[in-house]
Structure 1
Amino acid sequence: MKAIGLTVFGNPGTFEEIDVNLPDLKDNQVLVEVKASSINPGDEPLRTGEIFKSSVGGQWSEKLPIFLGSEVAGIIKAVGKKVTRFKVHDRVMGLAIHSGVYQDFVAVDEDHLTKFSENISYEIAGAAPTIALTAKQALFDHGNLLKGQRVLIQGGAGGVGHVAIQLAKNHGAYVITTARKNNYDFVKALGADEVYDYTEFDIADIIHEKVDLVIDTVMETSIIKNNGALGEVGKKSLSVIKDNGKYVSIVSFGLNSYPMKRNIDAHFFQSKPNHSDFEKIMNWIEMKELHIHIDKIFPLSPQGIEEAYIHSKKQPKKGRISVSKIQK
């Protein structure tokens, strides 16, 4: 089968079509024919190669090619012996962990998928898994958001941010968010009660009534340079949280090593895929309680993926960038 691999590190890097073997199917896995996926900002250090630089001489310590992408929407072509939820020809979406999905077929754990109806496009289903799962778990599993509470969502026009606004508002929270000015109308239409441009204003000077919870989705260069510690956005976020409030970051990966003041519960987390959460997410989409905004769709081809990564670096953008094999 064909797979699209990264063959040269860089910005955006070089992708090529490569012949690979059909993946072996474990008893708890299904074989999915890939129809659509998306561009994940979390792949950035993989794509550029920075994550593989050795400490000696700055040389590359990882052999190419490598295979990126984890979000998948497609059709089941085969099922493992112990699979009970799915059958051949089911339309499914979810996450293929550590395998890369820019290829013809991918083996995915049964618990990392859910079915979706023909009312939902492959592009929407392939754009939803990471951002919707992360927003759901950040708000409710880690943030314990309650009806009537005040929440600040940093980076409200992005993938996770634009989903988090909708979920928080649907839950009965008062939603404050940050976005660039040209995305104000977008985040307000999603349900934001207040919106500020964090590139122009210090939120500590604007938000006078402190919030119960902050969800931080803004990746800053300073976070990488400081071993995952809080960036400037994160530091300002802490100043507007109530005593005993919560700060949940999906970007400051070293945050859990730093003690917090005023008994603020602050931690970094990575979402954990599971069938139950994916089922909820697709039900919200089906019932039109959650809208996944796609900024642009590119072909799921070597050139298309390169162009999609170039587009992902541009501003302004909002929502998600999709890559698809479906001809429009």
Structure 2
Amino acid sequence: MSAIAEARNFVLQLGADEVIDYTTTDFAETMSPVDVVLDMVRDPVIDRVTGIGATELKNYRILKDNGTFISLVNPAIAEQPSISGIDAQFALITPGASDWEAFIDWIQANKLHVYVEDVFPFTRQGVADAHEYYDTQNKRGKIVIQRDSIDR
């Protein structure tokens, strides 16, 4: 099985309804209009005047009229004039203690699953190995550096 087929199967197993390989397919050309876009990808190149990148422009193209565009990466989105009644907003997320407690509750209730790619010991070598792994491997999940015991 090819690496792309394995990645597609992995994402489907996580619960995705549809998978688009961005390396071969332009999502803006294949998607039906949607109500909401949650943008978490910062374009490496942005227009100097508008502050908007090519992917963000594609996100506008796939939104229905009067849709909602929420960017977690680009504050300039909120400053753009409305296009087709689209409500464009920037969301700056700062989690607090109650947010972390909710995450823990979701995980314990099996409502949120975190895929852990690998676990490294909390040692000088373990941290170095984790950094090397992060920099050189094609990752699918989180990398954890774990202490021997956790104080609670």
The bucket for the TM-score relative to the shorter chain is: 0.7 to 0.9
Q: 1:204 Cα deviation (Å)? A: 1.7
Instruction: Report the residue type matching 1:246 in the other structure.
Output: T
User: Where do residues 63-102 of structure 1 align in structure 2 (5 Å cutoff)?
Assistant: none
Q: Percent identity?
A: 34
In structure 1, what is the equivalent of residue 95 of structure 2? 273
In structure 2, what is the equivalent of residue 326 of structure 1? 148
Q: How many residues align?
A: 146
User: Where do residues 6-25 of structure 1 align in structure 2 (5 Å cutoff)?
Assistant: none
TM-score between the two structures when normalised by the length of structure 2: 0.77
Higher relative contact order (CA 8 A, sep 6+): 1
Q: Give the number of the structure whose residues are more often helix, by fraction.
A: 2
Instruction: Report the residue type matching 1:197 in the other structure.
Output: D
Q: Is the 8 A contact 1:216 1:251 kept in 2?
A: yes
C-alpha separation in 2, matches of 1:297 and 1:184: 24
In structure 2, what is the equivalent of residue 191 of structure 1? 15
In structure 2, what is the equivalent of residue 210 of structure 1? 33
Q: 1:310 Cα deviation (Å)? A: 3.8
Q: Is the 8 A contact 1:202 1:236 kept in 2?
A: no
When residues 200 and 256 of structure 1 are mapped into structure 2, their CA distance, relative to the original with a 3 A threshold, is same
User: Where do residues 1-328 of structure 1 align in structure 2 (5 Å cutoff)?
Assistant: 182-207=6-31, 209-222=32-45, 229-314=51-136, 316-326=138-148
In structure 2, what is the equivalent of residue 20 of structure 1? none
When residues 298 and 245 of structure 1 are mapped into structure 2, their CA distance, relative to the original with a 3 A threshold, is same
C-alpha separation in 2, matches of 1:246 and 1:326: 45
SS class of match (2:114): coil
C-alpha separation in 1, matches of 2:77 and 2:123: 37
Q: Is the 8 A contact 1:256 1:267 kept in 2?
A: yes
When residues 232 and 305 of structure 1 are mapped into structure 2, their CA distance, relative to the original with a 3 A threshold, is farther
SS class of match (1:243): strand
Q: Is the 8 A contact 1:296 1:320 kept in 2?
A: yes
C-alpha separation in 2, matches of 1:306 and 1:231: 35
Unaligned runs of 5+ in 1: 1-179
CA RMSD, 1 decimal:
2.8
In structure 2, what is the equivalent of residue 45 of structure 1? none
Instruction: Report the residue type matching 1:286 in the other structure.
Output: Q
Describe the superposition over 1:144-203 as per-residue Cα deviations: whole angstroms up to 9, x where unpaired.
xxxxxxxxxxxxxxxxxxxxxxxxxxxxxxxxxxxx654211221122111101121111
Unaligned runs of 5+ in 2: none
SS class of match (2:95): coil
C-alpha separation in 2, matches of 1:273 and 1:227: 32
